[in-house]
Amino acid sequence: MATKNENKEKPNFALGRENYKLLAIGFAIIVLGFLLMLGGKSHDPNVFSNKIFSFRRITLAPIVVLAGFAFEIWAIMKKPKNAEKED
């Protein structure tokens, strides 16, 4: 008769543990990019503020967000280390 440990199989996930860690890092990069876009509002709603056109909000933040998405794609496509050993 088989024991409980013998009947349990290790679940096969599509991605390895390293891939999930990289996905979390990529998500943090994307969140950082959106946080860089925050701010620039005027204290008085009747007065226009040019702060919204800063380098950080117009150029840097979108580049960081796109880099985060590219990192996410790489994290998904990266071959897990345990799969490389089996080949």
In a domain, 66, yes or no: yes
What is the distance between the alpha carbons of residues 55 and 36, in angstroms, rounded to a whole number?
10
- The predicted-structure confidence for 38-77, as pLDDT tens digits, reads as follows 988 888 888 888 888 999 999 999 999 999 999 999 999 9
Q: What share of the chain is helix, strand, coil (3-state, %, to 5)?
A: 65, 0, 35
Full residue range of the structural domain in which residue 63 is found: 16-77
Q: Is residue 54 part of a domain?
A: yes
Structural domain total, the chain: 1
Domain-located, residue 3: no
In tens, the pLDDT along 14-39 reads 888 899 999 999 999 999 999 999 98
DSSP string, 18-44: HHHHHHHHHHHHHHHHHHHT-----SS
pLDDT value at residue 45: 85
The answer to whether residue 39 is domain-embedded is yes
Residue 82 included in any domain: no
